[in-house]
Structure 1
């Protein structure tokens, strides 16, 4: 992903050890986490910190994650209802 702040291509140095830049660990365990991250990406796009094309891709991925969380929650609830109906509780 490119940003407007760092558009330079990385320099390759043979025989040197370069430190990796740590990336923050994002918590995306709930739909609210995904919503919060979408809002951050939106703000970055509005302030031109992130290219709009990159922001669009990120929001698409966040939407997919949120859908999977929703489906997982519904599946758990359905399984619990089925177990209750069959007396497996």
Structure 2
């Protein structure tokens, strides 16, 4: 597909240009956030990382905010399911 090796120098209009190295991305392990307890556990981990200086406190605040929003959505989905069950029970009795 390519006529040159990736990351090898490129000649453009008589000038030799060094190719920019292809960035390598390390995959971040997936964090389980399936329920409120998972969110709480991850929030505690982020808090400890911010407290110890492993992550910037502003980044920690942003992550905590996102986790709290995920937690709220999980709560709302659970409440929605419970209401649906109650409505189905109530409709069956009427």
Considering the TM-score relative to the shorter chain, is it more than 0.5?
Answer: yes
Q: TM-score, normalised by structure 1?
A: 0.78
Q: TM-score, normalised by structure 2?
A: 0.74
Inter-partner Cα distance in structure 1 for 2:24 and 2:58: 28
Structure with bigger strand share is: 2
Match of residue 73, structure 1, among 72, 78, 81: 78
Inter-partner Cα distance in structure 1 for 2:34 and 2:20: 40
The SS at the match of 2:41 is helix
Ranges in structure 2 where 5+ consecutive residues have no aligned partner = 1-17
Structure 2 match to 1:49:
54
Please identify the structure whose Cα radius of gyration is greater.
2
Inter-partner Cα distance in structure 1 for 2:89 and 2:25: 51
> How big is the shift at 1:55?
0.2
Ranges in structure 1 where 5+ consecutive residues have no aligned partner = 1-12
